[in-house]
Chain A
């Protein structure tokens, strides 16, 4: 453990170099994979193979600068902006209605000074901050039903807006998931959460059962069809099952050791925009089971570092802030891999630090900056 080595050092405070290393590794690996995945299509469509790499590199550098800045600002500084952050997130989402940029049939982006920004990413960060402030101020209030439901209800307006206005159900699920995870940590109760989990599973099961047994599938909206395509992607190979099936081809043809970096066939247009949400399937194809498991282990290490920092945070606010970030990353990693491997129905979720996407990586790095600052406040004797 990096912390142990430092225990006898001069510094009184802790800097989590392991976490920094993991972040830098994932970022670098992500850039390599984005280049490998997108170069062929980029050369075809934009005339230069580094088109996506350049954009992602630019966002990553901006993000790293932001991370360094945030890491040096005491995290309590952000507490007073919690309400404001919530409001800004809401306004940004509303701004999508008149000013949103449409891509792939969904309006999810705002263009600010030439950079496209996903308000949903802002909302994730805002929600983590808000709930951390709310819960830490509430103190023992969280043990009461009123406090519990208050924490549960605060994210709902934002979640509904993300879902309905940006028609981005996956981001809505992630935000709600982060909120529930933070509430789970803050509340001493287990029973409520077990009931909640069972309830969600039951509703999902009934829903799936209903869709599968519906005689007339023509009335289904695209989500219903997604369920059917999930259960049998080959039957929907030309429609909703296409992307999933192509991802499975990529994963399956990777084998144990993969085809080698750069050798993917599926990235040659078979998986559309493979550098986005489906990048993990190309990692599987090129680097095999070995590479895929290495990356999952890397994320597990990241989550473990976040757990260590949260457990040693100087106060509840810091701990919850880190738990929120932990939840954000864990949920996205799990859902992304589950989607790519067709373990759950297809929905667009990016793989943190690795998938192509400027706003995603920038906000993740800002969150990491906060975590690093929380880590800095840990007094070594407390470890």
Chain B
């Protein structure tokens, strides 16, 4: 071995060592960066990876009527899941769950055999069934309790209250509008799991408790709602009508006491369509070829058809639909006429049974004519020619402005979803004929709630109130959380006009077309309407009546609308009695009248 050989080799070995040391020091630096500088970042990401969240449902707030009756409540139900890794006897589990839950074996098998940390089999299982499954004590089956919405009155006020979906969120009605109050805040259970999703026992768990939803107190009175619903069903059956709507409201503050839209649906089974008789109704009659096929279709609805059918069933006609109000709208024309000074109570009219507007001949419902009459009697007679004259003398621009001033062009702001807006002519398209037809409530469409709200503001002294259900929100123990406020627009009409209107409308009931609504012992104001649906000439009508009591200081206003009645269809004949029966019962109940006082 040559000595100078050794020298450079030794040197090189030392170089190699220091090279290694140098690189390792670089790696020290890298580790320092990762483990000191970036430790928060990576720890957080790692924690997110290791922690599993299980949510704890918050109990949804209840809905309570004005008397303290609970009308939307919670019931304990169970959610059944399987945890793949803990399953010991899959066949036994499949058998048990198939039997108890009424599911197909194929469905259950697929979920039991699926490789996932936790697989939900079925939610909203009755507590009894859940308890039975838990008692079977099969490893890997998990039964969690949670809450399900429960409506003790089944179908009462169904379209108002609405219902909730599988995750307890509101789907329609008040349940949607007041979601933020009712829903509460879910809590969570944080557990630490391994990569397979199996909880690591030693790591323990941390809980964030759920915050229960608040209770909603509404202005609805279930006694009135219940009675109004009976009346509506009665009218629907006797008149073979398609549907009947009733709204009962306090015209002074807009609190709605009842809102009925028959047919209602069962809130506890909102996805079950009513068992339909073979389709023969108005629509089917027009189709020639769908005699037998129509019945077969009911059973085999496609997804979209089913959804449409459900939407139709859930639809709140008082809010979501518009119609031509017909003669009830004369209240508004009259108020506009009085406000503008175009007419007074004593203005005189002559009705020959028709009125000519440009080249159009508009007939009165009394073809022989009302003859000579003053404005009060024209209203009592619901005389079309007289109201056409009023409308024309108010004039297009002023009439449109009153329409707007009364709030008819804006929505009422009712606390229910999907309020329909007014369908109205454009101002520049209103010619004499349009103006004439508008004067007696035709050629435009408004929603029932809009009509009731507008008439309320005309008879209550000129205050346009916001119709509403929600009154206040309290916590579970009844402590006030929030009092709900609604805007009121004052000065819609003058106090004087309002007083005159109350007087005239009382006359309509006491002596005029609305006398079927009269009750002995209390003065009632009101107006009838009979409108033919579009296209005209099919003999399909909407009969309605709006009434309020007491006439001189209205505390309650009610509208009854009968859609597509068979046989007698005059509002004064078939709708006015509904309001009368309603008032006969609820006025004493509300303390507005006392039979014993007379």
By a beta-carbon cutoff of 8 Å, the part of chain A in contact with chain B is: 40, 44, 140, 181, 184-186, 188, 248-256, 265-266, 268-270, 284, 288-289, 292-293, 296, 299-300, 303-304, 307, 310-311, 315-316, 319, 323, 326-327, 330, 333-334, 337-338, 341, 343
Contacts and interface: CB of A to CB of B under 8 A. Distances in A.
Contact of B31 (A268, A293, A311): A293
Interface stretch (B1-9, B381-389, B448-456, B530-538): B1-9
Contact of B20 (A250, A256, A330): A330
Contacts of A293: 28, 31
Interface string B28-45: 101110111011011101
B5 A316 contact: yes
A120 B36 CA distance: 37
Nearest to A266: B46
Contacts of B46: 249-250, 252-253, 265-266
B39 A307 contact: no
B10 interface: yes
Given A284-B31, A300-B24, A307-B13, 7 more contacts: A252-B43, A255-B36, A270-B49, A289-B32, A300-B20, A307-B17, A337-B27
Contacts of A253: 39, 42-43, 46-47
B12 interface: yes
B39 A268 contact: no
A269 B49 contact: no
B285 interface: no
A185 B16 CA distance: 8
Nearest to B48: A249
Given A265-B50, A334-B20, A252 B27 contact: no
A140 B47 CA distance: 61
Nearest to B33: A341
A311 B35 contact: no
A90 B8 CA distance: 33
B195 interface: yes
Contacts of A248: 34, 42
Contacts of B192: 265
A185 B42 CA distance: 41
B7 to A, nearest CB: 10
Contact of B1 (A186, A311, A316): A316
25 contacts: A44-B196, A185-B12, A185-B16, A250-B46, A251-B35, A252-B39, A253-B42, A254-B35, A255-B35, A256-B36, A265-B46, A268-B195, A269-B195, A270-B49, A270-B50, A303-B17, A303-B21, A304-B17, A310-B13, A323-B13, A323-B16, A326-B16, A338-B27, A341-B27, A341-B34
B526 to A, nearest CB: 70
Interface of B: 1-2, 5, 8-10, 12-14, 16-17, 20-21, 23-24, 27-28, 30-32, 34-36, 38-39, 41-43, 45-47, 49-50, 192, 194-196, 200
A216 to B, nearest CB: 30
Interface of B is mostly: helix
Nearest to B35: A289
B12 to A, nearest CB: 5
A42 to B, nearest CB: 13
A197 B80 CA distance: 64
Given A265-B50, A300-B21, A311-B14, A256 B27 contact: no
Contacts of B43: 252-253, 255
B113 to A, nearest CB: 19
Contacts of A44: 196
B546 to A, nearest CB: 65
B9 A319 contact: yes
A228 B45 CA distance: 21
A334 B200 contact: no
Contacts of A334: 20, 23-24, 27
Contact of B24 (A269, A284, A299): A299
Contact of A296 (B2, B27, B38): B27
Contacts of B194: 40, 268-270
Given A254-B39, A256-B36, A341 B200 contact: no
A268 B17 contact: no
Given A265-B50, A316-B5, A251 B31 contact: yes
B36 A343 contact: no
B38 A252 contact: yes
A270 B9 contact: no
B16 A292 contact: no
B12 A303 contact: no
A173 to B, nearest CB: 15
A60 B1 CA distance: 37
Given A251-B35, A307-B16, A311-B14, A185 B9 contact: yes
Contact of A343 (B5, B16, B30): B30
Contacts of A316: 1, 5, 9
Nearest to A327: B16
Contacts of B13: 185, 307, 310-311, 319, 323, 326
B31 A341 contact: yes
Contacts of A186: 9
Contacts of A307: 13-14, 16-17
Query: Sorted from nearest, which 10 A-B pairs have the closest CB atoms?
Result: A252-B42, A269-B195, A268-B194, A249-B46, A253-B43, A289-B35, A307-B17, A253-B46, A330-B20, A185-B12
B1 to A, nearest CB: 6
Contacts of A265: 46, 50, 192, 200
Contacts of B5: 316
Nearest to A312: B10
Contacts of B200: 265, 268
A181 B70 CA distance: 86
A284 B42 CA distance: 13
Contact of B10 (A40, A311, A315): A311
A343 B34 CA distance: 11
B8 A188 contact: yes
Contacts of A338: 27, 30
A319 B9 CA distance: 9
A315 B16 contact: no
Nearest to A319: B9
